[in-house]
Amino acid sequence: MRQGTAVTRIAFPKPSQGSPFLPGPTFAAPFHAAGDLADIPFVYGRFHNPTWTRYEQALGEMEGGTAVVFSSGMAAVAAVFGAALRPRDILVLPNDCYFTTRRLANGYLSEMGVQVKMAPTAANAQAEHLPGAKLLWIETPSNPGLDVCDIAELARVAHQSGAVVAVDNTTATFLGQSPLALGADFSVSADTKGITGHSDLILGHVAVREKDWAERIRTWRTQTGGIPGPMEVWLAHRSLQTMDLRLQKQCSNALAVAQYLASRKEVTGLRYPGLPDDPAHPVASRQMRLFGPLVSFSLASRTAAERFFAASKLVYEATSFGSIHTTAERRARHGGDVVPEGFIRLSVGCEDLEDLIGDLSQALDLAAKV
């Protein structure tokens, strides 16, 4: 069964007369649990929940491994760090990955004795720091710069050095690329973004190839309490059913938008892995099935970027990405990313393409006026 079909009914129960396609969420703290706990599937709401089980089964099948759901993407990131790293271990991290991941590594983990080594995503630059490392963390395409590294090659080198490999797959999603199949030990995602796709949920997950790692990740979740609510998980499972439709539309729109932006003289530093002349395209085209909804570019200044946002009628100025709505932000306003003041991360949505390009055109025209 192809992925586009699978997501429409993944982890649904077998059809039963008079039953819904996808059962509703289970709200429970304690469950009835008399006698031997080993014989009882559900005991307490911090340990497990039937709604989580269905969603995790769906994610596991799509990822090609075993999945554990968390209350946020950063809770999932922290679980991998917590399960894999101990004081004096070496963590190799992209210096251009998601800012909060870097902040957690260089803050709390470093203070706890983990040695953090950093290198850019592009050109597999992290490979030089792998000797002696315990964990290699990859983010490809990187956020917000959209550089790409070779997952399979880095996983091969890391495993030869004795390191395990985690890939932040938030930007691509499991429909866009399959980190576990490419050799990674962990595939991590903020399901807040493209997986749920409606700008209304905060969730994350970790998928692993080895059952032992799954148990360690679950133990971390149980002991730290980074659990999601059943309603949010049920809504996420429901959202999977339209994920392929959404992502296909977003990616086709993103390519067309990137091609249009390439024609604008005021746009500089344009990046989209799906463009044949993008530096990331050769590697991206080998390991990605879809190139994602993110496009990045720069305007001349902070003022020009702010004029662009003020003039646009279809682009919501907001953080996060992966929604059916087109959103964008001037990333320098947050700090932490080495980007120009006029740098814009644009997350392309599912709007009609002619309307979207028309809106971008008039907004860029107005932004360019003095």
Span 331-341, pLDDT tens digits: 988 888 889 99
Listed in sequence order, the residues at least 6 apart from 10 whose beta carbon sits closer than 8 Å to its beta carbon are 57, 58, 61, 62, 240
Residue 22 above 70 pLDDT? yes
- Is the CB of residue 167 less than 8 Å from the CB of residue 179? yes
Quick one: 39 and 170 in the same domain?
yes
Could you tell me if 200 and 249 lie in one domain? no
Residue ending a domain, choose from 240, 273, 296 = 240
Does 217 lie in the same domain as 98?
A: yes
326: its two tokens: 């087109």
Q: Are residues 20 and 74 in the same domain?
A: yes
Question: Do 128 and 269 fall within a single domain?
Answer: no
Q: In terms of domains, do 60 and 173 share one?
A: yes
Give tens-digit pLDDT for 77-91. Answer: 999 999 999 999 999
Residue 76 sits in a domain whose CATH number is: 3.40.640.10
Residues 257, 327: one domain? yes
Q: What is the pLDDT of residue 45?
A: 97
Using the 3D structure, point to which of 211, 240, 269 is the last residue of a domain.
Answer: 240
Parallel, antiparallel, or unpaired: how do β-strands 343-347 and 294-298 relate? antiparallel
For residue 370, what pLDDT is reported? Answer: 59
How far is it, in rounded angstroms, from Cα 97 to Cα 252?
A: 25
The reported pLDDT for the residue numbered 284 is 98
Q: What is the pTM of this model?
A: 0.96
Q: Are residues 203 and 228 in the same domain?
A: yes
For residue 332, the SS3 value is helix
Q: How confident is the model over 146-167, as pLDDT tens digits?
A: 999 999 999 999 999 999 999 9
d(CA 205, CA 187): 8
Q: What is the average pLDDT value for the chain, to the nearest integer? A: 97
Q: What is the pLDDT of residues 219-246, one digit of tens each?
A: 999 999 999 999 999 999 999 999 999 9
Element (H, E) at 18: none
- Which one of 210, 240, 270 terminates a domain? 240
Q: What is the pLDDT of residues 55-108, one digit of tens each?
A: 999 999 999 999 999 999 999 999 999 999 999 999 999 999 999 999 999 999
Q: Are residues 105 and 16 in the same domain?
A: yes
Is the domain of 9 the same as that of 146? yes
Q: Give the whole-angstrom CA distance, residue 233 versus residue 48.
A: 12
Q: Are 89 and 324 in contact (CB under 8 A)?
A: no
Which of 286, 294, 289 lies closest to 258 in space, CA to CA?
294
Domain match, 84 and 215 both: yes
pLDDT at 338: 85
Domain count, the chain: 2
Full domain range(s) for residue 319: 244-368
